[in-house]
Every structure is written in C-alpha cells, then in structure tokens.
Amino acid sequence: MPLFLITSVCDEGVYESCFRVVEAESRETIAQNILDRPYDWEKFLRNTKIWWELTRYEDKYRQPRGWSPADLLKEIDASHVDGDSENQFRIHEIKKIEKIPGPGDES
C-alpha cells in the first residue's frame, strides 16, 4: 500500500508537528477520511480556509458543504502559504525512499 506525506506548512517552514506519513490506497482515500473525520485533522487544517469550509460552513448556511473527495483534493492543491495567516496543506505520494548508507555499509 502506498505511503503519503501530508504537510501543513506556514511561511516559517516545516515543523515536526506539521507533517504526517500515512499508508492509504490513494489521495482520494485520505481526502474521504478528512471529510468523514475533520477533527482528526484539525492540527493540520486549523490554519487553512479548508478548515472553515469543513467545520463551519454547515453551521452558517444550514446545509452541508457537499464536497466529494475530488472536490476536497482541488481545494487542498489550491491552498497556499499566506504569511502566518494561512498554511499550505498538501498530500504527496512517496514514490521513492532513499537509503543513506551508514558506517560499515558497503557502497
């Protein structure tokens, strides 16, 4: 099963608490999980417009947002860093894992 790197990055860069590696079938599977369980992703989404859309839109407009996983992925891919006011959220498939030889490893 593929591995994915999920990041939420501000203008100050990547911190240990703002990335996660997950195993999932696809980006769409992860997006569906975010739609189903947004509060599990709060730490990553809180400083994005996506967070408001997932958690406050229905309260304000009295109707569900109605996003599909594909809709959410478009929003994720459009997110961007805006100083410290908004984070960029991304889901990247890890296609290659490189090994750095340690002492005593043959090259």
Q: Is 61 inside any structural domain?
A: yes
On whether the CB atoms of residues 8 and 47 are closer than 8 A, the answer is yes
Q: How far apart are CA 10 and CA 17, in angstroms?
A: 12
Nearest of 16, 2, 66, 82 to residue 44 by alpha carbon: 16
Domain count, the chain: 1
On whether the CB atoms of residues 5 and 94 are closer than 8 A, the answer is yes
**pTM assigned to the model:** 0.85
27-36 vs 69-78: helix axis angle to the nearest 10?
A: 100
Query: Cα angle vertex 29, ends 33, 86, to 5°?
Result: 60
Q: How far apart are CA 19 and CA 51, in angstroms?
A: 16
> What are the tens digits of pLDDT across the range 44-96?
999 899 998 888 766 666 666 789 999 999 999 999 988 778 899 999 999 99
> What is the span of the domain harbouring residue 58?
3-94
Q: Is 106 inside any structural domain?
A: no
> What are the tens digits of pLDDT across the range 12-26?
777 777 899 999 999
> What are the tens digits of pLDDT across the range 94-107?
999 999 998 877 75
Tell me the pLDDT of the chain averaged across its residues: 88
Q: Is 105 inside any structural domain?
A: no
Q: Is 107 inside any structural domain?
A: no
Q: How many Å is the maximal CA-CA distance in the chain? A: 63
